[in-house]
Each structure stands twice: as structure tokens, then as C-alpha cells.
């Protein structure tokens, strides 16, 4: 087994008790990573790190077989399907492969096969690249494609038939005569590097999320609800295996692959037969050399015993066949120097540190940047608060080891401390935004530091403007996402106030809005009218429109109801900036439903002078309608109320508005936290729930008597 460094106790030093705890931890951790990989197409660790976790699990289980858990990752493959598509039960389970990481692992594998079959010499193996895509099973009945299914958890996958039919590499009918009644062809769906780059470019232009790597984009593209989208993604398919077969057309692996090719499938052109361990290892090295030039991602090679009768005799152990093994490539690493650390500001204001590297080639790609994730990562602290890299921090001038593993963004995985220059100082993470200069804050329990200059920070402005004009905020018709971006690009609308001066400025402009592409006299007139209509806005909508972290519609309403009008609100926010001990801060956190996290977010926003100035410019343009203030001395202030059944003296909406005005929170369902259930005739399950939880039940009249109206 290849030697790998674990930041944990070596498996052979674990006591039984520690082993049991470690297996429980690994089962949970691997299940989480499986979910991210298989269901969300968004892995957070590299394949090499994932393999190391599984390997550790296997090693511990090999030492303590009595501790193997029912939910152990060794007992299942992948994660359950996501539920978005119809489920398909595989006639023959779709299994996985055991991994080899070193030459010795491969030799051991061949030895095991030789011993099991009692042979005198190594048998013939097929060798082929291990494609880094997602596996797919295609069922043909009477020669016609009837089902295409993903692997899912190995037993049950997702029905993606309509989508797979759009792939050019997948025949709708098998070529040739007399094909067996039932034929299941299995293989890998993948995306070429060129198609991946082109897709991400299109995604970025359309402001859609970009994919992390070709594998994720292949998975995301195949699991689209609309087959037309899959069709536009140019997915490819290599066939390399089979599932249920009503008759076997060949008796070797190579014979089967040849037969599959003759039925109209693409098979990998590098497929080869190997007659010795040396030949297998030579194949591995050859493919490793060609890897960068293949044009698609592979993460190793796969060896399979050629004779099918011998495959059958060897059978399976838990999730993988004994007759095949994946010889994985090591994660690609290189050593280089950190020339600088740059801070990038994302659209939501997150500050992400990036190492600017002395350019270095990793696996055929020149790398100049590597992500440093966040402030703690630079300091040598992991997401769970525990040390990483043995607690070593990363400094400008350090020699570091970088890794490119499947993911497109390389990472700094270690520091070569012996090479640290004397002059290197610990990196000071900036406390202000490098783009706009606003102060940047890190909430308790969060790894990310964020810029607070939402309204004026160029890195975030477009996002904030979009939010500002969105439906639940200012709701300006005719000012959609594209228009906001276009106006921003041309310097016409840089901050909310600019929206309201647009018409005035247009009068004086030489190039009128109506002359722009996609706009005309009528749409410009309509747009200006829509803007005028929103010059008057209720306080809660204004607060929500500012796009402050944690201030959604509900919190905006709670705050607006408390302060009543915009002047009281601004005064309250300014005074609360004096800190948690101030009366104003306490007033804010005393509003039912507003905790410290929310209070801090809004206070930080108002502490930033540039935000205040941008808001003042906006307030010069608009009129903010006051809201009826909550009566904080009302008997229901801070209480949670549920209305159920029909009400006779007021509508449900009136009841809700009244309760909220009085400082109560109106909930949709009953729980332990509910204070009152107001039940009218016809009340059903909510009444029963209230009785179950011992919640006070009031009639409509009793409620009205209590609130005094």
C-alpha cells in the first residue's frame, strides 16, 4: 500500500474503543462527502482525500472486522438517488472498484487472483483508462433503448432515459442482427475539456453558476429536467461493461468490448491486453504520460481479468469485484513559491484569499494561482477548528506544495518549513475590503470575512442592485437583471439613487436610453413610469431592499414595525453602532425575533459611512411611508400565534396584520413554541396539535378581548 500521511492516529495504534469511534466518524463523514459528490455535484474534497478516508475505513475494518458497521461506506456504493427523477432498480447491481495506489498494490492484486484461481502464472488482464465521469446503465430490449439510468446507490439509480437519448454516442437501437433480447450496456458519461470550458464560458455570460470540473458538469448536465439542456451540453459516452444480458455473445472481457463496439458504441481507443504485471505497470505509466493530452479527465487505469469464467469464479466482495482493480493516479502535486497573497471579493462580499504563485506546471497545466480558502486556512486552522498542516501558517515567500486534483482551482496543501525565508512574516488578513475600502467583518462561527459596503462596493454592486429592484423589494418593472447589468456596465446606474435620477439625466443625455439596443421609446417611457411609481415605498420594503445579510422580508418587517418611520429607524441604527452595551443596541435585540446575529449585521451596515452616504442619496429621491408602530406593551408582544379554522369578525390577513402590529409573530404551524392558537369553526389538525403541546387555545372573541379590539 502506498504510504500516505494521515493527520490521525495510525490504524495499527488504535485501541478497539478508538477504532469504533473512528469508524463511526468515518461513516458519517464519508456519507456527507458522498452526498455532496453524488447528489449535489459539488464535492468539497479532492478525490485523493476522499480515497484516503475510505482507505482508512477499510484498514480499520480489516483490523477490527467485528466493528464493521451496517452503515459503513464499505457496505454501499455512492449515495441514494436525489428523488428528482423516477427511480430505476438495476437488474444487476452497479458496483464499484477497489483501488490500488502503488505498483505493489497491483502486484498484490494479481497475486490474489493467481492464488484464488490456483494458477501457475499471471493471467491476461485488460487495461484501459479510468474515465472521470459518471457511470450509466443503458437497457435495450429487442434491440431498442428502453431505459438509461445513473448508478445512484448501486441498487437503484435515476431514470434519465429522455436525457441520454440526446447523446450522439448512445445508439437508440443496437446495430446488427440477432442481438440478445435483453442487453444492458454500461459505461461512463463524460465531458471533454474543450466542451467544459465552452460551457462554463456560456454559463458565466448568462450569469449562471459555473461548474467546478468536467465531471460535475457532466453529472449536472445529465441530470437536467429538460432534455434540451442535456442535448446542448455535448456529453460523450465510453462503453466498458454490461449488466443484465439474456445471452452472452463472448467469453472474454476483450471479446465483449469488441462486441459492444460493433453494436454502435464508442469504446476507449487506448484499451489494451496485458500479459504480465510489468505490462500492466508499463500501460499505467504510458497513460499517465499521455493524460494531459487526452482532452478529457481520467483518474487512473482499470485492469480487468480477461476470462469471464474466471471473473465469475472470483465473484465480488461487498461493493467491488475481486477480478478488477482501479490503479489510481496520485493527486498531482508541485512545489513553488508564494509571491503574494491577493484578496478577491465575491458577489456576496466574501473575501477569498488567493496565493499568487511562481508559475509551475502541474500535470501539464501551468498554475499561477491557488485558493487559500479563508483566513483560518492561511493560519493553519481547518473548518472544524482543528490544526491543519500540523498548524503551520502560510506566509508570503514560503515554498509550498500545491495540488491539482480533479478540481479546477489548485490548492496549497503544505508548506516546506525548511525553506521559509527569515524575512517571512505571518500574513495579516485585511480588515477592510480591498475593492471599496469598507470595513470587512467576520461573524462569530463563520470562516468567511465579508465586506460591509454592500451598496457601494463594485464587487457587489450589481448583485445588490438586482436585489434592490427585485419583486419583494422595489419591484421596478422593466428593470430586470440584464438591464441592471447593462446600465451598470455603462455607468448609468451604479447605486440605488441613480435609478431615480435616470429619467432626469436622460433628458440631458446626447445618447438617449431609447436609442439603446433592446429598448425603444415605449419601453423607456414604461420604465420611467415604473420608477416613478416606486418613489413612494413602505419602510419595511426599503429595509429589505438594502440587501443586508440576514435581513429578509420578515426581519425587515419586524424592524420597520418597531421603529415606525425612517427617521426613528436611522437614529436607532446609528445609536446602536455604539456597541452591545448601548441602550439602542439593546432596543434592537429586544424586538421579538431579532437576535444578535441579525442586529450585528444591520449595525455593521450602518457603521459603514459609505453605505450611509449612498442611503442618504437615495433618501433624497424617495419618500418612505411610515408603518404603524408595534405596541410593545400589548399583551401579545413577543408571543407566537397560530390562526386556524374560519374567522368571523375579520379576514385571516386582517387578523395577521393586527397581531403583527401588536408585536406578535404569526406562525403557520403549531409547535411547542406556540403561545396561542386562535381557533374558529372548522379548526382541525392544528387544534389537535395545540392540545397535544398544551398550547392555550382561544376563540376569536377571546383573542379580540385580549388584544383589546
Cβ-based nearer residue to ligand IVH, 89 or 609: 89
Site for ligand IVH in 115-144 (CB under 6 A): 128, 130-131, 135
Which residue is it, cell 442535456? 230
Cβ-based nearer residue to ligand IVH, 239 or 599: 239
H-helix segments, 159-296 = 161-164, 193-205, 214-222, 227-232, 253-262, 277-290
Please, what is the minimum distance in Å from the beta carbon of residue 254 to ligand IVH? 13
Q: Is 136 helix (H, G, I), strand (E, B) or coil?
A: strand
Q: Is 1 helix (H, G, I), strand (E, B) or coil?
A: coil
Please, what is the minimum distance in Å from the beta carbon of residue 149 to ligand IVH? 13
Please, what is the minimum distance in Å from the beta carbon of residue 245 to ligand IVH? 14
Nearest by Cα to 551 from 464, 645, 484, 621: 464
Active site residue 130: yes
Interface with ligand IVH, residue 227, by CB under 6 A = no
Cβ-based nearer residue to ligand IVH, 287 or 459: 287
Please, what is the minimum distance in Å from the beta carbon of residue 549 to ligand IVH? 40
Please, what is the minimum distance in Å from the beta carbon of residue 125 to ligand IVH? 12
Interface with ligand IVH, residue 240, by CB under 6 A = yes
Nearest by Cα to 690 from 709, 670, 705: 670
Cell of 515: 436609442
- Rounded to whole angstroms, the Cα distance separating 30 from 46 reads 13
Please, what is the minimum distance in Å from the beta carbon of residue 255 to ligand IVH? 16
3-state helix, strand, coil in the chain (%, to 5): 40, 20, 40
Decide: 171 and 263 in contact? Cβ < 8 Å: yes
Cβ-based nearer residue to ligand IVH, 326 or 614: 326
Cβ-based nearer residue to ligand IVH, 126 or 674: 126
Cβ-based nearer residue to ligand IVH, 93 or 434: 93
Provide φ and ψ at 376, rounded to 5°. -65, -35
Decide: 160 and 222 in contact? Cβ < 8 Å: yes
Cβ-based nearer residue to ligand IVH, 50 or 544: 50
Decide: 538 and 625 in contact? Cβ < 8 Å: yes
Cβ-based nearer residue to ligand IVH, 97 or 110: 97
Decide: 355 and 427 in contact? Cβ < 8 Å: no
- Rounded to whole angstroms, the Cα distance separating 113 from 254 reads 18
- The pattern of x and - marking residues 323 through 362 that bind ligand IVH according to CB under 6 A reads -x-x------------------------------------
Site for ligand IVH in 541-580 (CB under 6 A): none
Select the residue whose beta carbon is closest to ligand IVH and give its number.
135
Site for ligand IVH in 62-101 (CB under 6 A): 95-97
Site for ligand IVH in 291-330 (CB under 6 A): 302, 321, 324, 326
Cβ-based nearer residue to ligand IVH, 324 or 394: 324
Please, what is the minimum distance in Å from the beta carbon of residue 154 to ligand IVH? 8
Cβ-based nearer residue to ligand IVH, 327 or 466: 327
Please work out the total of residues on this chain that contact ligand IVH, with binding judged by CB under 6 A.
14
Sign for the pseudo-dihedral over CA of 32, 62, 280, 3: positive
- Rounded to whole angstroms, the Cα distance separating 138 from 174 reads 11
Please, what is the minimum distance in Å from the beta carbon of residue 316 to ligand IVH? 8
Decide: 450 and 602 in contact? Cβ < 8 Å: no
- Rounded to whole angstroms, the Cα distance separating 425 from 427 reads 6
The strand ranges marked E within 432-532 are: 440-442, 449-451
Please, what is the minimum distance in Å from the beta carbon of residue 136 to ligand IVH? 8
In sequence order, which residues have a C-beta less than 8 Å from that of residue 309 and are 6 or more positions away? 251
Q: Is 668 helix (H, G, I), strand (E, B) or coil?
A: coil
Decide: 30 and 73 in contact? Cβ < 8 Å: yes
Q: Is 330 helix (H, G, I), strand (E, B) or coil?
A: coil
Interface with ligand IVH, residue 241, by CB under 6 A = yes
Please, what is the minimum distance in Å from the beta carbon of residue 697 to ligand IVH? 56
Please, what is the minimum distance in Å from the beta carbon of residue 357 to ligand IVH? 31
DSSP code of residue 211 = P
Which of 462-471 are b and which e, b meaning 16 or more Cβ less than 10 Å from the residue's Cβ? Answer: bbbbbbbbbe
Nearest by Cα to 271 from 259, 289, 283, 285: 283
Give DSSP secondary structure letters for 218-257. Answer: HHHHHT-SSHHHHHHT--EEEEEEEEEESS-S-SBHHHHH
Q: Is 141 helix (H, G, I), strand (E, B) or coil?
A: strand
Cβ-based nearer residue to ligand IVH, 93 or 363: 93
- Rounded to whole angstroms, the Cα distance separating 360 from 335 reads 8
Cβ-based nearer residue to ligand IVH, 130 or 395: 130
- Rounded to whole angstroms, the Cα distance separating 638 from 676 reads 12
**DSSP count for the chain of H helices, then E strands:** 24, 26
- Rounded to whole angstroms, the Cα distance separating 265 from 420 reads 54
Decide: 304 and 324 in contact? Cβ < 8 Å: yes
Active-site residue, selected from the candidate residues 35, 118, 130, 507? 130
Please, what is the minimum distance in Å from the beta carbon of residue 191 to ligand IVH? 14
Nearest by Cα to 32 from 22, 21, 45: 45
Q: In what order do the strands lie in the sheet with 640-644?
A: 665-667, 640-644, 676-679, 696-698
Cell of 600: 450585528
Among the listed residues 153, 188, 414, 604, the single contact to ligand IVH using CB under 6 A: 188
Provide φ and ψ at 125, rounded to 5°. -120, 150
> Quick one: which H or E segment has residue 607?
helix 596-607
Cβ-based nearer residue to ligand IVH, 77 or 558: 77
Nearest by Cα to 319 from 646, 94, 57, 541: 94
- Cite the active site residues: 130
Site residues for ligand IVH per CB under 6 A: 95-97, 128, 130-131, 135, 188, 240-241, 302, 321, 324, 326
Amino acid at each position: 500500500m502506498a504510504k500516505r500521511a494521515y493527520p490521525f492516529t495510525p490504524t495499527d495504534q488504535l485501541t478497539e474503543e478508538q477504532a469504533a469511534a473512528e469508524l463511526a466518524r468515518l461513516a458519517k463523514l464519508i456519507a456527507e462527502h458522498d452526498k455532496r459528490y453524488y447528489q449535489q455535484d459539488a464535492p468539497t474534497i479532492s478525490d485523493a482525500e476522499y480515497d484516503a478516508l475510505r482507505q482508512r475505513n477499510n484498514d480499520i475494518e480489516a483490523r477490527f472486522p467485528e466493528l464493521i458497521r451496517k452503515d459503513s461506506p464499505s457496505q454501499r456504493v455512492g449515495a441514494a438517488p436525489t428523488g428528482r427523477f423516477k427511480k430505476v432498480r438495476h437488474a444487476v447491481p452497479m458496483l464499484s472498484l477497489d483501488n490500488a495506489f502503488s505498483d505493489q498494490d497491483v502486484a498484490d492484486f494479481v497475486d490474489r487472483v493467481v492464488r484464488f484461481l490456483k494458477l501457475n502464472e499471471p493471467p491476461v488482464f485488460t487495461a484501459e483508462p479510468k474515465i472521470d465521469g459518471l457511470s450509466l446503465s443503458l437497457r435495450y430490449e429487442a434491440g431498442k433503448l428502453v431505459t438509461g439510468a445513473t448508478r445512484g446507490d448501486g441498487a437503484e439509480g435515476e431514470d434519465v432515459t429522455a436525457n441520454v437519448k440526446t447523446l450522439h454516442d448512445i445508439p437508440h437501437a443496437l446495430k446488427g442482427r440477432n442481438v440478445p433480447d435483453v442487453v444492458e450496456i454500461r459505461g461512463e458519461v463524460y465531458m471533454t475539456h474543450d466542451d467544459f470550458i465552452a460551457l462554463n464560458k456560456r454559463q458565466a455570460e448568462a450569469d449562471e453558476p459555473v461548474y467546478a470540473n468536467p465531471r460535475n458538469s457532466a453529472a449536472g448536465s445529465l441530470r437536467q429536467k429538460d432534455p434540451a439542456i442535456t442535448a446542448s451540453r455535448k456529453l460523450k459516452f465510453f462503453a466498458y461493461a454490461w449488466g443484465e444480458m439474456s445471452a452472452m455473445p463472448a467469453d472474454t472481457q476483450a471479446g465483449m468490448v469488441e462486441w459492444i463496439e460493433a453494436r454502435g458504441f464508442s469504446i476507449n481507443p487506448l484499451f489494451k491486453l496485458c500479459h504480465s504485471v510489468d505490462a500492466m505497470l508499463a500501460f499505467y505509466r504510458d497513460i499517465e504520460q499521455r493524460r494531459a493530452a487526452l482532452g478529457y479527465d481520467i483518474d487512473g487505469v482499470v485492469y480487468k481479468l480477461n476470462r469471464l469464467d474466471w471473473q465469475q469464479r472470483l465473484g465480488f466482495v461487498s461493493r467491488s469485484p475481486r477480478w478488477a482493480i482501479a490503479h489510481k493516479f496520485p493527486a498531482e502535486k508541485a512545489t513553488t513559491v508564494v509571491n503574494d497573497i491577493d484578496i478577491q471579493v465575491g458577489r456576496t462580499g466574501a473575501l477569498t484569499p488567493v496565493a499568487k504563485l511562481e508559475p509551475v506546471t502541474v500535470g501539464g497545466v501551468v498554475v499561477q494561482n491557488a485558493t487559500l480558502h479563508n483566513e483560518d486556512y492561511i493560519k493553519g486552522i481547518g473548518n472544524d477548528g482543528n490544526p491543519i498542516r500540523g498548524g503551520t501558517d502560510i506566509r508570503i515567500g514560503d515554498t509550498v506544495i500545491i495540488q491539482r486534483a480533479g478540481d479546477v482551482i489548485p490548492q496549497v496543501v503544505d508548506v516546506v518549513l525548511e525553506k521559509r525565508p527569515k524575512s517571512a512574516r505571518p500574513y495579516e488578513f485585511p480588515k477592510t475590503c480591498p475593492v471599496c475600502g469598507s470595513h470587512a467583518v467576520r461573524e462569530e462561527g463563520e470562516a468567511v470575512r465579508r465586506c460591509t459596503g454592500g451598496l457601494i462596493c463594485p464587487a457587489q454592486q450589481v448583485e445588490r442592485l438586482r436585489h434592490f429592484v427585485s419583486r419583494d423589494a422595489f419591484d421596478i418593472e422593466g428593470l430586470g437583471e440584464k438591464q441592471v447589468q447593462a446600465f451598470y456596465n455603462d455607468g448609468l446606474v451604479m447605486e440605488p439613487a441613480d435609478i431615480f435620477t435616470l429619467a432626469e439625466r436622460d433628458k440631458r443625455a446626447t445618447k438617449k436610453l431609447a436609442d439603446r439596443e433592446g429598448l425603444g421609446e415605449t419601453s423607456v417611457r414604461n420604465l420611467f413610469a415604473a420608477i416613478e411609481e416606486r418613489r413612494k415605498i413602505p419602510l419595511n420594503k426599503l429595509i429589505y431592499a438594502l440587501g443586508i445579510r440576514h435581513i429578509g422580508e420578515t426581519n425587515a418587517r419586524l424592524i420597520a414595525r418597531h421603529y415606525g418611520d425612517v427617521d426613528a429607524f436611522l437614529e436607532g441604527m446609528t445609536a446602536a453602532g455604539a456597541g452591545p452595551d448601548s441602550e439602542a443596541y439593546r432596543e434592537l435585540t429586544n424586538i421579538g425575533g431579532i437576535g444578535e446575529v441579525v442586529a450585528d449585521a444591520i449595525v455593521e451596515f450602518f457603521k459603514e459611512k459609505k453605505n450611509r452616504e449612498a442611503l442618504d442619496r437615495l433618501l433624497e429621491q424617495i419618500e418612505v411611508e411610515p408603518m404603524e408602530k408595534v405596541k410593545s406593551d400589548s399583551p401579545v408582544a413577543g408571543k407566537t400565534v397560530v390562526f386556524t379554522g374560519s374567522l368571523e369578525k375579520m379576514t385571516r390577513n386582517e387578523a395577521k396584520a393586527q397581531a403583527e402590529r401588536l408585536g406578535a409573530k404569526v406562525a403557520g404551524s403549531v409547535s411547542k413554541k406556540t403561545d396561542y392558537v386562535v381557533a374558529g369553526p372548522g379548526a382541525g389538525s392544528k387544534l389537535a396539535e395545540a392540545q397535544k403541546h398544551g398550547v392555550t387555545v382561544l376563540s376569536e372573541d377571546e383573542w379580540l378581548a385580549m388584544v383589546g379590539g
